[in-house]
Structures are given as C-alpha cells and as structure tokens.
C-alpha cells in the first residue's frame, strides 16, 4: 500500500495571541487616542491614525512593548531560527469609521508587524492578507464557484474573528488591507519591530 504525504513548502508564519491585554488597558488606549493628535489617511478621511510614536518614549504605550516582546522573540525565532533581541521601533493607533478602509500595503523597513485589536471588527473589515499582487509576468488563475480554496491556491486570507485585546503578528513583507468597514468604528494599535542584529556568519547587520 502506497503512502501519500503532502507538506507545505516554505510556509509563512502567522501568530495570533488571544487576550494579550485586558479591558482596562484597551479602554485606556482608546481614550488616549480620542484626546491625542490625529492624522487623516492620505487615501480616505474615514481612516485616521495617531501620530507615530516610539513606544518606549510614550506614556500612551508604556508597558505595552514589554507585554508584546516575548511574542516577538518567539515569532522571530520562527523567521530567523534564533532568540533575538527585538525592538518595537514605532507604534500607532488606527481609527476606521463606518465606510472606511485601508488599501493594500506592506510595512517597509521592518521585519515583524503586529496589530492589537481594541474593538471587535465587523466581518466586512477583517484584516485580509494577499499572496501577491502580480509582477511583470502574465498570470493564470483557476477561480470559480466549483473551486475548493485552501492554503495552496487561495489568493487571499482574512483573519478570523478577533476581539478587543487580541493580537496578531505577521512578517512585515506580507501584503494586507482592511476592506470597507460595514460595521461600527474599528480601532487597532499597529506596530513595527526589528531585531537589534542579524548575522551572516562573521558579518553582522545592526539595526535600531
Ligand atoms: Fe498595515
């Protein structure tokens, strides 16, 4: 009898941490944003951001980086095979009004990006990841009602329901968006993290 085994080659890690922060911290972050400086998104005025802050230098986020860091070390271990020293270099709050959206993007100059949800996300406005957006080659697809979508052929994937206090981590190169929000106001904290160094045998790249 022959045996059949299918493996995922070169998979991309995605981490979800439930209840990273409790309700009091969620409320405090939401309040800080209401009273803090805001900037409107360049593509839509239904999305606004807090000013980008260094989390270690900001009262608003004090303590948050310490809670996040162990998860960065674990996730970074999957990406780089080593327990590295991780630095959250920037952190900001997003507020998405009903009807608002965030266009497809990735985060430059960063290795791990994360989102902490401060409100429930309406099913229409779940963070959605894309496999790719094409290059300069012709592309072929087999997408119709009869197709079974799975990890090997799906062009995109939406994060299942998240609640206030939940966090997700993903490699910063991953393309993602928030589709049009057909629910209530949606608030998140976003951040970018870098390791203090990467090493290629005797050569070290230092960041931060
Ligand atoms: Fe993003």
Q: Model confidence over 117-134: pLDDT tens digits?
A: 999 999 999 999 999 888
CATH number at residue 78: 2.60.120.620
Rounded to whole angstroms, the Cα distance separating 87 from 40 reads: 27
β-partners of residue 188 are 94, 117
Residue 104 lies in a domain: yes
pLDDT at 54: 75
Count: domains in the chain: 1
Residue 118 lies in a domain: yes
- Distance of CA 36 to CAs 9, 50, 118, 145, 184, Å? 45, 7, 16, 47, 21
Give me ligand 1 centre to Cα 174, in Å.
9
Cβ–Cβ under 8 Å, residues 114 and 169: yes
Give me ligand 1 centre to Cα 203, in Å.
31
In this predicted model, what pLDDT tens digit does every residue of 31-60 receive, in sequence order?
877 766 577 787 788 888 887 777 766 666
Residue 204 lies in a domain: no
* Residue 116 clears pLDDT 80, i.e. is over it: yes
Comparing 25-29, 32-36, 85-89, 92-96, which segment has the lowest mean pLDDT?
Answer: 32-36
Residue 91 lies in a domain: yes
Residue 134 lies in a domain: no
pLDDT band for 192, please (50, 70, 90 cuts): very high
pLDDT at 59: 66
- Can you say whether the dihedral through the CA atoms of 58, 15, 131, 47 is positive or negative? negative
pLDDT at 10: 95
| DSSP-derived 3-state class of residue 207 | coil
Q: Which residue carries 């890690």 as its tokens? A: 13
* Residue 105 clears pLDDT 80, i.e. is over it: yes
Cβ–Cβ under 8 Å, residues 74 and 16: no
Give me ligand 1 centre to Cα 106, in Å.
6
Give me ligand 1 centre to Cα 107, in Å.
6
Residue 2 lies in a domain: no
Q: Residue length, the chain?
A: 208
In this predicted model, what pLDDT tens digit does every residue of 153-169 receive, in sequence order?
999 999 999 999 999 99
* Residue 67 clears pLDDT 80, i.e. is over it: yes
Give me ligand 1 centre to Cα 3, in Å.
42
**DSSP category for residue 52:** P
pLDDT at 57: 65
Q: What is the pTM of this model?
A: 0.93
Calculate the average pLDDT of the chain: 92
Residue 180 lies in a domain: yes
Residue 187 lies in a domain: yes
Q: How far is CA 197 from the centre of its chain?
A: 22
Domain that holds residue 31: 15-127+160-196
């Amino acid at each position: 009898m022959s045996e059949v085994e299918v493996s995922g080659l070169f998979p991309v890690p995605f981490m979800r941490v439930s209840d990273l922060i409790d309700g009091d911290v969620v409320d405090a972050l939401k309040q800080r944003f209401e009273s803090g400086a805001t900037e409107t998104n360049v593509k839509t005025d239904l999305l606004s951001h807090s000013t980008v802050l260094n989390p270690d230098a900001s009262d608003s986020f004090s303590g948050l980086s310490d809670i996040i860091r162990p998860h960065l070390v674990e996730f970074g271990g999957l990406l780089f095979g080593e327990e590295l020293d991780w630095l959250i270099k920037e952190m900001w709050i997003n507020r998405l009004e009903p009807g608002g959206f965030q266009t497809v993007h990735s985060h430059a100059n960063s290795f791990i990006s994360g989102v902490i949800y401060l409100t429930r996300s309406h099913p229409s406005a779940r963070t959605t990841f894309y496999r790719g957006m094409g290059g300069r080659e012709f592309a072929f697809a087999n997408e119709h009602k009869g197709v079974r979508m799975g990890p090997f052929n799906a062009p995109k994937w939406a994060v299942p329901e998240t609640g206030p206090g939940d966090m997700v981590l993903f490699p910063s190169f991953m393309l993602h968006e928030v589709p049009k929000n057909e629910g209530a106001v949606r608030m998140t904290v976003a951040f970018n993290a870098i390791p203090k160094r990467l090493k290629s045998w005797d050569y070290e790249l230092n960041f931060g």
